[in-house]
Amino acid sequence: MLVLSDCPERLAGLAGVDDGAEVAGESLAPGGRRLWRALGAGTRLWRGEGLEPGPGGFWSLCVVVGEAPSSQFDALRESLAGGLELPGPTACLALTGRGFHGQRGRPWLALPGNLHLCVVFPEPGLAARELASLPMLPVVALVDAIRSLGGGALRPGIKWVNDVLVDGRKVGGVLTSTQTQGERVGSILLGIGLNVAAAPPVPATPFVPRVGSLADAGVNATWADAALAVLAALGRRLAALLRDGPDGLVEAYRDASIVVGREVCLFAESPLGGGEALSRPFVRGAVLGIGADLSLTLDGVEGPVTSGRLAFAEDCEPRPRSSTW
């Protein structure tokens, strides 16, 4: 796997500095130069070989930036829409940065030591009819990676739609964007955030009552360990999706779900800002199942629920006020 970086001295565990060299940006192929500029990388450019996350030979390129000036996910989405061509599956990492976000623009704090990863699969060979289950790919791969990093001791769970929790605390989340060309998927862009070393200070809401990290759960891992584990899991899951179809992915998502059998509230999709009162849920009930299109079946609710922001019912109950004597 080719690695490009503006901070080679910080690549321990991902690439060996002695195996690469400083090069000029003009030495890159046109697609590589455009990618480098899109990610806001500095004038310094180091090129070398990185460790190979499985399956062997799957990943073509990995770009590591010390500090991203803005959201890499947004920059990649814009570049792909503008015709960016890549040699194959490409990973982009920022050790820290500004302007990162989750779903609907909700801020994601990029702390040093955590994983901030974007992945592009150009021309993945996937039929457009599989788009409904495609958002399951990154969140299932993230669950796989956390299990691997924890040596099988952790039980990460998926909170619908794309949050990953360990011990009831949110440790990760994902984003998915696709381009289609007729009946084929032209490209897949994934964004994955994982709190490896530290939990960011995030105000508690009914949607995210608690935040944690792998370190909190007793996992001694670096961002590079996490990157290799997630890239390996993504490669395996995409290969299985292309080979066998979405059934295995759907089954894995359901197995890791922590919402089935629990009473939940669904709210209209809007960020819960500081001091904003929580609106009434548009639906409430126990989750009976999850469809292959990620729709929810709720007890007593007619028809599937396909959108909304989910909170567990117990986290929506008003908290008693303390009394002063």
- Amino acid 298: pLDDT: 97
Beta strand 2-5 with 61-68: parallel, antiparallel or unpaired? Answer: parallel
> Which positions ≥6 away from 81 have C-beta within 8 Å?
179
Q: Which of 68, 49, 46 is nearest to 60 (CA)?
A: 49
Residues of the chain short of pLDDT 70, as ranges, are: 270-278, 318-325
DSSP letter assigned to residue 211:
B
- Amino acid 324: pLDDT: 36
Q: Which of 198, 193, 192 is nearest to 215 (CA)?
A: 198
Q: Which two tokens stand for residue 272?
A: 């819960």
> Which positions ≥6 away from 163 have C-beta within 8 Å?
170, 172, 173, 208
CA distance 33 to 310: 41
Per residue in 232-268, pLDDT tens?
999 999 999 999 999 999 999 999 999 999 999 999 8
Per residue in 168-195, pLDDT tens?
999 999 999 999 888 899 999 999 999 9
- Amino acid 270: pLDDT: 65
- Amino acid 28: pLDDT: 86
Q: Which two tokens stand for residue 114?
A: 């955590």
pTM for this one? Answer: 0.93
- Amino acid 16: pLDDT: 81
Q: Which of 92, 67, 96 is nearest to 77 (CA)?
A: 92
Which DSSP string corresponds to 105-162? Answer: G-B----TTSEEEEEEEES---BGGGGGGTTHHHHHHHHHHHHHHTTT----EEETTT
Q: Which of 313, 109, 282, 281 is nearest to 209 (CA)?
A: 313
What are the chain's domains? 2-256 (3.30.930.10), 263-316 (no CATH)
First to last CA, the chain: 66
- Amino acid 273: pLDDT: 43
